[in-house]
Structures are given as structure tokens and as C-alpha cells.
Amino acid sequence: MTTQRALITGIFGQDAAYLARHLIDQGYEIIGTHRRTSTNNSWRLRELDVERHIRFEELELLEQSNIIHTLKETRPTEIYNLAAQSFVGSSFNQPIFTGEANALGVTRILEAIRVVDPEIRFYQASTSEMFGLVQETPQKETTAFYPRSPYGISKLYAHWMTKNYREAYGLHATSGILFNHESPLRGTEFVTRKITTHFAAIKFGLIDHVELGNLNACRDWGHARDYVEGMHAMVRHDEADDFVLASGQTHTIEDFANLAASVAGFKIEWEGEAEDRKAYNRETGKCIIKVNPRFYRPTEVDLLMGDAGKAKDVLGWAPRTNFENLVEEMMAADLDRQSRTDRFVSN
């Protein structure tokens, strides 16, 4: 078999690091693309020891000519489009940039594939945020969409564009509808890693407490390491299609915090409701979690729980890491990182 060459956009992000590791282990050549930045941002790639195997190229989702020239010069056989403005919270403040990058950025890549080489297989990072105000539970490929943020709406446009280019031009263009997946390499703005970095800093006496938003939202959390294997299986499948990847379980933010606290060695007790809800460390009596409405979203996604039955039947994919193991791994990693520095671990 000829060597496969995968181009991964958003190479400095969480998923890209795990995907690069997985594909390198499968014998792939990797072209990792990133937008131009003034500083090197490759800490995740170093953590998984993949940086030295990657050919780096600058690629900006807002720049059509840049995308076309990058494909002409690098000649990938597969493209995994993981680059995006991926933080739902910021999408309310940056709806236009979010649409440019997440929605039109995908059309620009699909057009570039048509022009340069329609044989390139394409993976689009779609999301459970497209289900938003959920119309049924659990959510699956046939569930009606109802996005609740500029992020979810931008991703829904990209999802339909991917499907349209598959149907209109016969591209092998696949959309993975992935539910939340986390890891020790998760960005610290997302709630899971925000909790584990702050608990580690509390443990080492650097801060007193963490401020969170809506504690009642329910998410279906899995491990990014497992989900990138599903991405690859979709791209290698004969037929391009849409697939949900999910754990099938859902937990509240408070559940995540309770489990992370117990891994960190805190015994916590909750008091109060809504904005007055607080968690206290039973041993010290100090408050370690407060609610701050600043972190509420103008429109919230209250409940996500996916059904990955199709991915299991067609691709043989199932997650390996359960919720408890995920929280343990994340909390242990941040305690370890924090133990090695006096400054608050911020990435």
C-alpha cells in the first residue's frame, strides 16, 4: 500500500495531537497546519512526542488562496479539518469570526479539494452542539438539529456543506458528530480542565477557589484519545457518511467537580442553590467552588447524551475510557504538572 499522507488543520489543538499520534503509529506522513502565531504553540505535540514527525505549514481558514496553494504543494491523500474557533462561550462575543472560520472556512477547503484533487478524503469536525435544544434523547445521526450558539450554527452550516459536496460532487467527505471529549491536553477554558487546573492550584496553595457558571448542564464526556480513532475509521470506511461518536452517558458539571475533588483529596460539601451554590472543603471549612453568573451563556445547551450505535455497527468503534478513568487521568495529570512549578499551570 502507498504511504498515506494526512493533512491535519488546527495541529496545535487537543484532537490534532492525539490524531497525529494515532496516524503516525499507523505509518502515515503528517502535514500539520496552523495559523500564523508569534510564539510556538506546540506543547501538546511535545507531550505526545510527535512534533519531530510532523511537517508544519501555515494555513489560515480565512484565506482561500492559502488553502489552495497548501494543497497543491503538500498533496495530501486525507484531510482532517480540526481547526476552528472551538469555544462556545467566545462564539457569542465573536459570532462573525466564528462563522468565517468554522463555516466558510470549511467551504473554502471543500472548494480547494474540488480544484486541486477531488480524490482527497475529507473529515469535518462536526459537533453535538448542533443538537443544542435537544429534540430527542439520546441524540443520533437522524435527530433534528437545534443549535443554541453562533458556534453551533457555524458548525451546522459546515456539516451541511460537507454533506452537499459529498452528494453534489461525489467527494469522500465525512462528518463526525462528536460529543464532548476531553483529556489532560484539553484547553483550560473548557470546564473540565478549568476544574482540574484550579483544583491542583488550590491543593498547592496558589489560589483559594474556582468560579464556575451553570453547574447543572449535562454533558456526554469521553476521552479524545478514543475519539480520534473513530475519526480515522470514518475516513478509511468505503462510503463517506455522518457518524455520531459518544459515550452514551451523561453527567452534570457538579458530578465532574465532585469526582475531581475526590481524586485531588478534597472532601467537599455543597450548600445553597443557583447563584448562591458553593462547595466547601470539609477539612478546612474554606469555600473552594463559587458560582459566578459571568460564566453563564446567553442560551445554554442543557443536556447532551449521544447514541454511537451506528459507529459501533458500521465502523466497529466504541470508547475505551469511562467517565471515572477520564476524570482520574485529567486530575492526576494536573496535580503532577502543578507539583513541578510555583506558577499557576495555565496550559
Q: What x/- string results for residues 126 through 145 when contact with ligand GDD is judged by CB under 6 A? A: -xxx----------------
**Cell (9 digits) for 187:** 484547553
Q: How far is CA 108 from CA 78, 105, 112, 227, 328, in A?
A: 16, 5, 6, 25, 40
**Closest CB 191 distance from ligand GDD, rounded Å:** 4
18 a catalytic residue: no
Query: Could you say which of ligand NAP, ligand GDD, none residue 63 binds, taking C-beta under 5 to 8 angstroms by partner kind?
Result: none
Single out the catalytic residue among 9, 70, 98, 127: 127
Contact 122, 170 (CB under 8 A): no
Among 2, 3, 37, 38, contact with ligand NAP (rule: CB under 6 A): 37
- Sign of the dihedral defined by the CA atoms of residues 212, 218, 221, 227, in that order: negative
Question: Using CB under 6 A, which residues numbered 119 to 148 contact ligand NAP?
Answer: 125, 127
- Return the range that interacts with ligand GDD (CB under 6 A); candidates 109-117, 140-148, 210-218, 260-268: 210-218
**Cell (9 digits) for 149:** 450558539
Single out the catalytic residue among 51, 60, 78, 129: 129
Q: Which residues are CB-contacts of 301 (< 8 A; sequence separation ≥ 6)?
A: 88, 129, 131, 132, 133, 134, 148, 149, 152, 217
* 82 is a contact residue toward ligand NAP (CB under 6 A): yes
Q: What x/- string results for residues 163 through 192 when contact with ligand NAP is judged by CB under 6 A? A: ---------------x-xx-----x-----
How many residues can be counted in the chain? 347
151 a catalytic residue: yes
Q: Which residues are CB-contacts of 342 (< 8 A; sequence separation ≥ 6)?
A: 206
Query: Could you say which of ligand NAP, ligand GDD, none residue 191 binds, taking C-beta under 5 to 8 angstroms by partner kind?
Result: ligand GDD
Active-site annotation, residues: 127, 129, 151
